[in-house]
Amino acid sequence: MTLTFLKFAHRLVLHSNNVLMRLPRRCRVLLLLSMFLLVVLYSNFRKEAISQVKEPPKHAAVRQTEDRRLVQTQIPTKVPSPVLTPPSVNVSSEFRTSIPENGAYWNQLLHARLKRAERGENPLSRDPSWPHCRDNQTNVNDVASYSPLLRNFLWGMKCRSPPFLMDQPDKCKENATFLLFAIKSIPAHFERRQAVRDTWGREYLHDGGLHVRTAFLLGASSPDDPDISALVRFEAERYGDILQADFHDSLLNLTLKMNAFLRWTLERCPRVSFVFSGDDDVIVNTPALLSYLSSLDSSKASRLYTGHVIKTARPLRDPKSKYFIPASFYKGPYPAYVGGGGFVISGALLRPLYSACGAIPFFPIDDVYIGMCFNALGVSPQAHGGFHTFDIRERDRENMCIYKNLILVHRRSPQQVKKIWRGIHSPLLTC
């Protein structure tokens, strides 16, 4: 009943916009207030119903233990970010020469940071703390021509440590975690998250004693979106896999989201063996991924950065593209990087990667930025033919035998994810 109600409420919020826009303003306000009261009344009813269930008397020690567990599982509000000062990092000569020093804003910022690091100064020492980190004054002459998203990114480049609105401090405490699925999502994507939980992201002990954990990384909704924070909080309490940080969730803030996740993982899951970072609309063949990771020798396993490698990318100068990068902001090629739809990195690389992120200014495109940070560490991306972040051939998309031999395919609906998962695990499948 809980899951059914949550799905209904999410669908109601997501599909009501068209109806709302046709109603007078006063009716829209009344309808939204009614929806909110429905959520509150249901939550209170559920709590009252649970409290009225009669249980046999319990020993005082048992009650005290359960009380402690309840306190531990409550979700704190605005958890301060873990204080992790990135140590100094030796930036590779390849990275220094691949990013030219010129008049572009980001290039100047990068080389200024590298010079401060050479003098032994902490690259972050001049950055103000959260939330006093936005700077609307820049020396970019044509900043008025930037899109609103890019301007907001530019003004918030020094904002690195947002507090967590929802935390999962015990996510990795019970057992050694072999693989952590770190899934980028947004508050409204409940159906996508549920499809992941029901299929490839389900947490359990796999063959060989391999523990898999899943965490969804969210920012905060835009003020223009319907307020579904109560539903997200209810979801977090129900499933224990929601991480939400106090920043606006947008395409160009994915870099900030990734940095926040690195900080969280070093604090909460420091002994994880591998981390998968990906979107909430991918399908992952979890058994195939675990088999691949288990087969690696120690030298490869400790320096793994793998997925669909993009080697010769350059900035897109078309203002109509969502990945548009103006020449006044950045000039030069991109280092080789792995597509952000889904990639895997070694747990042993998390701390060095976080250190590199502290030395390198944020870049608007998150997978390009992670590629830059790894390039600075001297770690090259390893191509794996099982990762298809740009989809597979159209004629193969209904062939379950194709998915059986792959690790990741990007852009599938929740319904398609469940259909593919059932198909590749069907005992009737013959390939």
Please give the span between the terminal C-alpha atoms of the chain, in angstroms, as a whole number: 39
Q: Which residue segment(s) compose the domain that 12 sits in?
A: 2-54
CA–CA separation, 278 vs 56, rounded Å?
Answer: 46
Q: Classify residue 308: in a domain, yes or no.
A: no
Determine the pLDDT at residue 267. 95
pLDDT digits (tens, 9 = 90+) for 43-71: 444 444 333 333 333 333 333 333 333 33
- Dist. CA 365–CA 145, nearest whole Å: 19
Q: What single string gives the DSSP state of each residue in 216-238?
A: EEEEEPPTTS---HHHHHHHHHH
Q: Which parts of the chain sit beneath pLDDT 70?
A: 1-88
162 DSSP 8-state letter: P
Q: Is residue 19 part of a domain?
A: yes
| H/E element, 400 | helix 400-404
pLDDT at 125: 78
The answer to whether position 25 is within a domain reads yes
The rounded distance, in Å, linking the Cα atoms of 341 and 418 is 18
**Residue 131 amino acid letter:** P
- Residues in contact with 377: Cβ distance below 8 Å, sequence separation at least 6, in sequence order: 89, 92, 349, 352, 353, 356
Q: Is 47 part of a structural domain of the chain?
A: yes
**What's the token pair of residue 228?**
């579904």
Q: For residue 17, tell me if it sits in a domain.
A: yes
Beta-carbon contacts of 55 under 8 Å, excluding residues fewer than 6 positions away, are: none
148: helix, strand or coil: helix
**pTM (2 decimals)?**
0.82
**Residue in the block written with tokens 């852009």:** 411
Radius of gyration of the chain (CA): 23
Based on the number of CB atoms within 10 Å of its own CB, is 149 exposed (0-12), middle (13-18) or buried (19 or more)?
middle
Backbone phi, then psi, for 128, in 5-degree steps? -70, 160
For residue 31, tell me if it sits in a domain. Answer: yes
C-beta atoms surrounding 234 within 10 Å: 20
Angstrom distance (rounded) from CA 177 to CA 269: 8
CA distance 117 to 375: 17
Q: Is 38 a member of any domain?
A: yes
The per-residue pLDDT for 128 is 87
Query: Could you give the residue ranges of the DSSP H alpha helices within 223-380?
Result: 229-239, 254-268, 286-294, 298-301, 350-359, 366-377
Total number of domains in the chain? 1
Question: Does a structural domain hold residue 44?
Answer: yes
Q: Are 302 and 345 in contact (CB under 8 A)?
A: no
